[in-house]
Amino acid sequence: MKKNNDVILYERQGKYIPRVAAVHDLCGYGKCSLGVAIPLLSAAGVDVCPLPTSLFSTHTLYSDFVMHDTTDFLPKVLNHWKNGANMALDGVYSGFLGSAEQVEIIQSIYQDYPHALRLVDPVMGDGGQRYPTYSEEMCEKMKDLVDGADLLLPNLTEAGILTGMDYPGQSPDEKQVHLILDALLEMGAKVVVLKGIQKEGKIINYIQGQDSEMTAVSEDLLDFFIHGTGDLYASSLIAALYTGKDLESAVRFASKFVHDAMLNTRYQPDYLQRGVSFELNLGQVTDLLK
């Protein structure tokens, strides 16, 4: 069985710039989703092709927000990409979806670009609660993206929704973590990174693949919570992967990057609602290309 520091999901070739479709929502205010994915992947030398699944006035931490569902628009964009622009993709990175039908749209992208990595952040909830825009139907459809995912990035809440297992709280023991990871791998994910386990002053992210052993990567747990860290974690991890880093190195990089960005965030006004500020840390991403 491989160690995760032997697992490389993307081999960077010289000056070639990989192209990744980022299938997420777009918020006008608040640090999350495309507002995070575009700058993080761009700093890693990736050509990011945004495919907005919905438009929001703010992120959903606000009790009142305006949302526009873009489901009907997406097939037109994809048709033009395929037949008009004649573009190629090296990856499909999906996150927050606006409707159950969008799962089938993502699956159509997989069919049109069979060699692209399938990178799935199943953004459905946190802290044992699903997000208010996610219906039972949407949560059920999200399970279809697990089978064949080259990389699946759930938190404990999302892992519970996908597997049907009870939410274990934020501090499951290693036996429970094993059961969760095994269940997701049995559903067809090739590699899983289970995010956000909290133990003894540490935040731990567990890695396991079909052919690799379970590995725990930890970082100091800070004493405050900021909205958007899940999106930032996934985007910084994927950014590191596309610079050619092995899986374990990418997970370690993302863990430290989010930690460092959170420390800078505390100096920003209204940071608890605004979300995690990463701009001062983008140099850590560009340094991966050196």
Parts of the chain with a pLDDT under 70? none
Structure confidence at residue 241 (pLDDT): 98
Residues 238 and 119: beta-carbon distance below 8 Å: yes
Q: What is the pTM of this model?
A: 0.96
Structure confidence at residue 249 (pLDDT): 97
Structure confidence at residue 3 (pLDDT): 84
Structure confidence at residue 5 (pLDDT): 79
Q: What gap in Å lies between CA 216 and CA 116, rounded to an integer?
A: 27
Residues 98 and 70: beta-carbon distance below 8 Å: yes
Structure confidence at residue 236 (pLDDT): 98
Q: What is the DSSP string of 8-73?
A: -S----TT---EEEEEEEEEEESS-THHHHHHHHHHTT-EEEEEEEEEEEE-TTSSS--EEE-TTT
Site of tokens 């608040």 = 30
Domains of the chain by start residue, with CATH: 18-278 (3.40.1190.20)
Phi, psi for 52 (deg, rounded to 5): -70, 120
